[in-house]
Amino acid sequence: MSENPLLTPIHGITLEDYSAACAKLGSGLSEADVAKALGIEFPVWQEVSLLWPERMKQDSTFHIVTLFGQYFGEADKNPKFSNLKAEVSAQGTTNIEKIKTDKDFYQELEVARQVAYEYGLDGAQWIADQYAISIGDFQIAASLWNGQIHQDIQADYAGYNRRQDGYKKKYEQLFAAAQGGNLADDIEF
């Protein structure tokens, strides 16, 4: 693995640690918290967080970014951050556990988030308000489920689409109702 010069640690920070740090930032930790957990000062962290994405940009094979996604999903296992958790409510803790263990729950919320944006809402904020799940935990769940969802699509494309459409309809109705309907609801064939 260390054969690839693009994987050489930056200021001693490996891609594993950097990816986990990003996940933790997404879960509500500050840059200062993350730097401290990695044992580096703020200016060093800022270089690390500037230069790892540069490595990803330079890599036309997408190897680095793929590994980033994988390590991001394994952030909870990274020992450097094991004692460091953002403050989360009891409801949030339950939902964060659920989104990582219940694929349907994850898929439904992913659709809900997208539909929220289509109704002019900040989808990430909507998820945070409704379920107390941060964008970091949401993305961790995404990287945990992506492989399996890909297999589901290959095994039963129609079934997958049917479920997605069902979620989409459900949330379209929910968000439209909150805005007094859609603009063209009164126009019928």
Partner 1 sequence: MSGVLEKIGQTQDKWFVFLDKLESRMHEICTAAVPEIREVFEQDRDPYKRAHGHLLMGLRGQINQMRSKANEVREEKIFQFIDGITSELPGHGFFTGSHDRLYTFRIACINRHNLFEEKIAFYMSLLNNAAGEQDLEAAYQEQLQAFEAIRDQFSCKQCAGQMTIPDLFFIATYVTCPFCQTQNTFIPSTGAQMVLHQARSLAEQRTAHLLKTYEESKPKNSLLYRQYLRSMFDEWNKIVPDMAEENEKFYQRLLQDHLNSINHY
Partner 2 sequence: MNEKDKTLSYLERLKQQAVNQENYGGEIKAEEAKMEVRDCPECGAGRAFHQGLTVCAYCGFKFMDIRLTDGLYIRKQNNS
Residues that bind partner 2 (CB under 8 A): 8-13, 39-41, 43-44, 47-48, 50-51, 120-122, 124-125, 128, 135, 179-180, 183, 186
Q: Which two tokens stand for residue 23?
A: 């996940």
The CA distance from 6 to 11, in Å, is 13
Looking at the chain, the number of H-run helices and the number of E-run strands are 9, 0
The CA distance from 148 to 157, in Å, is 13
Q: What binding mask, one character per residue, do residues 39-68 give for partner 1 by CB under 8 A, x or -?
A: --xxx--xx--xx--x--xxxx--------
Choices 64-72, 127-135, 153-161, 177-185 (CB under 8 A): range interacting with partner 1: 177-185
Least separation in angstroms between residue 117's CB and partner 2 is 11
The CA distance from 119 to 182, in Å, is 9
The CA distance from 38 to 32, in Å, is 10
Which residue from 120, 154, 155, 180 is in contact with partner 1, where contact means CB under 8 A? 120
Q: Tell me the CA distances in angstroms from 26 to 19, 128, 155, 158, one per residue in order.
A: 11, 12, 32, 33
| CB nearer partner 2, residue 12 or residue 166 | 12
Residues between 65 and 104 with contacts to partner 1, criterion CB under 8 A: none
Residues in the chain: 189
Least separation in angstroms between residue 113's CB and partner 1 is 12
| CB nearer partner 2, residue 7 or residue 149 | 7
Least separation in angstroms between residue 122's CB and partner 2 is 5
Which residue from 11, 117, 129, 156 is in contact with partner 1, where contact means CB under 8 A? 117
Kindly give the interhelix angle for 90-101 and 135-155, rounded to the nearest 10 degrees.
20
Cα of first residue to Cα of last residue in the chain, in angstroms, is 61
Give residues in contact with partner 1 (CB under 8 A).
41-43, 46-47, 50-51, 54, 57-60, 117-122, 172, 182-184, 187-189
